[in-house]
Structures are given as structure tokens and as C-alpha cells.
Amino acid sequence: MTSEHKSLAENIIPSVQNKQLTSSIPSQYAYFKNPGDSFALPGDGIPVIDYSLLISEDTDQQAKSVSELGKACRDWGSFMVKNHGISEELYEAMFERCEEFNSMSDDEKQLFKMKKDVMDRIMFGCSSINMSSTQVRFWRDYLKLFVHPDFNSPHKPAGFSEKLLEISTKQREVMKNLLSGVSKSLGVEESYLYNIAEMDKGMDFCVMNIYPPCPQPELAVGLSPHTDFGLLSILIANGIGGLQIQQNGTWFNVKIPPKYLMVNLGDHMEILTNGKYKSVVHRAMVNNKTTRISLVTFYGAEVNNFVVPTPKFVDDNNNPLAYRGMKYGDYFIADQSSTTKGLDLVRI
């Protein structure tokens, strides 16, 4: 078993479970150089979209919500969603299963490690997926799953797969309505983004991030700054803070209230809109008290869909073509496995 396939718990935590020995992290996990580098302001101004209004039959209410959504996409590239109709109990039950997964022995978890490449339908691992592409290790374990068009999930712990399927199905509906709202906010037909990216056959990629308590949280990082691939990502966490998003160069702490979803616009929203809406830069912090778990689903195009800026958002004067086209599957593979990542793969 190579060390990157072991979980953090197996690699590091047993040796630090005895708290007397736990004062420092191994040097390859030291990310922040200065104590102020992880500073962020309170994210109280992060927009909140009322989903019930977005899908309301009342056209005035809906138009108001669409306009707020457009502003959130332009100003932040991210927003929270309330009144989405998915029960808090379902998410709580899911996080219980996530904790059970985390408590399984390393040998059990290794059943799900990457066997071939980043297109493996189920992948468990530690730190980042391709160790050679990041110099510093991330303080996290992950379980990556393709959940659409075919649904994949570990067969244990009991109930994990059932709860995840229920969440995937319900969130897909929310994603579809959010894309309708975003399309309307762009002045195009409501099914525009969904159809152009062939989202009915779209690749939904779900990642469970597990960030164990860290003895030096001011030095380590759970995930370094990045943007997500796909049109948008829906993120929930087990009530523990750690996510930070960047707006105009300033970092903000995200506190996701229970019953809310966090939504981040992804690179393919930026590409399709030729930069009118930007994917949001974000990172994950760790703490020294509690294991934080986040569950993120990246909603992207059909794997063979050639994603290219929409002509409507390109003109020779103020909006020259800013990104070259690339097949979604190729972008995903490159982003996950090469040193060139994210929009640098396609920026003109």
C-alpha cells in the first residue's frame, strides 16, 4: 500500500492520538507561511437565494429572485440557497453514514482506493488525487464518486448508498431549477444552459471531504485555493465551518446555516458565458477540535460535450473569445491529473 493510498488516520493520526506527541504536523503538510495568511472576514454578505421564490408561479416574485440570482452570480460567483425542500434529516442521516465510513478500518477503506485512473467510478484517498501536482499535502481524506448518469457508491457502511442516491436525485432537481434561473438571469431561454451542456446525461461527481482535527490548523490547509470544474457545485457540511470564498481578492468565511445549501459557480459556467459569470475561488481550512465533513457535488456537462463560449456572449468589440473549447471529459481528466489546472487549461 503506497502512503498516498492510506488515509490520514493511518498515515499520521495514530502516531498523534497520544496528545502529548501531537504538537506538530509533518513538514509536507505545512502550507501557510505566515500566521495571517489564513485570515478571512465574516461572510455575512454572501447572497442567499430563496429557492421557493425562484420556482414560484408568481411571475413578479420569480423575476425578483432571478434578478437577485444574477447579481449573486456576477458579484460573488456563489450564493446560498434556502427553502430548497430537501429535508435536514436526510442530510443529517447522510452525515452519520459519512462518519461511519470515516470510522471504518483503513483496510476496509482501501477496498475503494483508486485502481486505474481518475475515471475510476469510486476512489478513496488521502490528500490530493495526484501527489506530483501539488507540492504540499492537504489535510484531508476523500471519497470521490461518479453519481450520474450512472450511480456509484461504496456498498458499506449500511445505508450510505441509499441516502446518497436520495440526495443525488433530489439535488439534481434543485440544480436543474438553479440552471433555469441562471439562464433567465443571462437573458437566454430557461432551458438554455441545461440543454447546451446536455445535462440530462451530465456527469455529476460527488466528493466527500473528510478533514480530521489538525494539531496546527494555522499551518495546514484542507484544500488550497481552487475553482471547481462543471457548471455549478452544491456543497453541504456537517455543521462545522472551514470553507472560505474569495471576492475581489478578499477571503470570506462561509457559515452555512442548517437547511441551507452552498452553491459555487464552476469553470464551465465561466467558459459558457465567456467570463460574464466567474467561477469562485475557494479553499478549505482545518481546525484542531472536530472532524469536518463536506459533501460536494459537481454538476458538469455530458462527458463528450464540447464546452465552448456561447456566441451570444462573444463579440469582437468588448467581449472577445476568452476560452477555447474543450471536451468536458478531457477537461475533467486534465484538471484532476495534470499540473495545469482549471481555467488555465483553456484560457486564450
Ligand X SMILES: O=C(O)CCC(=O)C(=O)O
Which residues of this protein are in contact with ligand X, per CB under 6 A?
207, 209, 223, 228, 235, 237, 242-243, 282, 284, 294, 296
- Our CB check for ligand X shows the closer of 209 and 246 to be 209
CB of 153 to ligand X, least distance (A): 17
Q: Which does residue 269 touch among Fe ion, ligand X, none (CB within 5 to 8 A, set by kind)?
A: none
* Residues composing the chain: 348
Residues 6+ apart with CB under 8 A from 277: 73, 74, 77, 182, 186, 265, 269, 270
> Please, how many CA atoms are within 13 Å of residue 239, restricted to the half-sphere of its CB?
8
CB of 34 to ligand X, least distance (A): 22
CB of 69 to ligand X, least distance (A): 21
- Our CB check for ligand X shows the closer of 174 and 206 to be 206
CB of 254 to Fe ion, least distance (A): 12
Q: CB of 152 within 8 A of CB of 145?
A: yes
- Our CB check for Fe ion shows the closer of 10 and 228 to be 228
CB of 296 to Fe ion, least distance (A): 6
- Our CB check for ligand X shows the closer of 106 and 335 to be 335
Q: Which does residue 243 touch among Fe ion, ligand X, none (CB within 5 to 8 A, set by kind)?
A: ligand X
Closest CA to 265 of 342, 325, 187, 331: 342
Q: Which does residue 207 touch among Fe ion, ligand X, none (CB within 5 to 8 A, set by kind)?
A: ligand X
Burial of 1 (0-12, 13-18, 19+ CB in 10 A): exposed
CB of 228 to ligand X, least distance (A): 5
- Our CB check for Fe ion shows the closer of 229 and 260 to be 229
β-strand pairing of 204-211 with 41-42: unpaired
Count of Cβ atoms closer than 10 Å to residue 30 Cβ: 15
CB of 226 to Fe ion, least distance (A): 6
Count of Cβ atoms closer than 10 Å to residue 308 Cβ: 17
- Our CB check for Fe ion shows the closer of 181 and 342 to be 342
Closest CA to 295 of 175, 206, 185: 206
CB of 319 to Fe ion, least distance (A): 27
- Our CB check for ligand X shows the closer of 185 and 294 to be 294
Q: Which does residue 78 touch among Fe ion, ligand X, none (CB within 5 to 8 A, set by kind)?
A: none
Q: Which does residue 242 touch among ligand X, Fe ion, none (CB within 5 to 8 A, set by kind)?
A: ligand X
Closest CA to 243 of 205, 294, 297, 175: 294
Count of Cβ atoms closer than 10 Å to residue 227 Cβ: 23
Written as one string, the DSSP assignment of 148-215 is ESS----S-STTHHHHHHHHHHHHHHHHHHHHHHHHHHTTS-TTHHHHHTTGGG--EEEEEEEE---S
> Please, how many CA atoms are within 13 Å of residue 95, restricted to the half-sphere of its CB?
19
Q: Which does residue 284 touch among ligand X, Fe ion, none (CB within 5 to 8 A, set by kind)?
A: ligand X
The residue whose Cβ lies closest to Fe ion is 228
Q: Which does residue 294 touch among Fe ion, ligand X, none (CB within 5 to 8 A, set by kind)?
A: ligand X
Packed helices 88-103 and 160-185: angle between N→C axes, nearest 10 degrees = 130
Which parts of this chain interact with Fe ion (CB under 5 A)?
Answer: 228
- Our CB check for Fe ion shows the closer of 53 and 269 to be 269
Closest CA to 147 of 161, 130, 157, 129: 161
Q: Which does residue 145 touch among ligand X, Fe ion, none (CB within 5 to 8 A, set by kind)?
A: none
